[in-house]
Amino acid sequence: EAQVTQNPRYLITVTGKKLTVTCSQNMNHEYMSWYRQDPGLGLRQIYYSMNVEVTDKGDVPEGYKVSRKEKRNFPLILESPSPNQTSLYFCASAVRQGFNEQFFGPGTRLTVL
Partner 1 sequence: QQPVQSPQAVILREGEDAVINCSSSKALYSVHWYRQKHGEAPVFLMILLKGGEQKGHEKISASFNEKKQQSSLYLTASQLSYSGTYFCGTEADNTGGFKTIFGAGTRLFVKA
CA angle at 30 for the pair 25 and 35, rounded to the nearest 5°: 65
d(CA 58, CA 44): 8
CB 13 within 8 A of CB 110: yes
Residue 53 near partner 1 by CB under 8 A: no
Residues in contact with partner 1, counted by CB under 8 A, come to a total of 25
Q: Does 90 bind partner 1 (CB under 8 A)?
A: yes
> With CB under 8 A as the contact rule, which of the stretches 12-20, 56-64, 66-74, 76-84 interacts with partner 1?
56-64
Find the shortest distance in angstroms from Cβ 41 to partner 1.
Answer: 6
Instruction: Name which of residues 15 to 34 contact partner 1 (CB under 8 A).
Output: 33
Nearest CB to partner 1, comparing residues 90 and 112: 90
Site string for partner 1, 68-87 (x = CB under 8 A): --------------------
Q: Is the peptide bond before 83 cis (omega within 30 degrees of 0)?
A: no
Q: Is 104 in the site for partner 1 (CB under 8 A)?
A: yes
**Burial status of residue 29 (CB atoms within 10 A of its CB: 0-12, 13-18, 19 or more):** buried
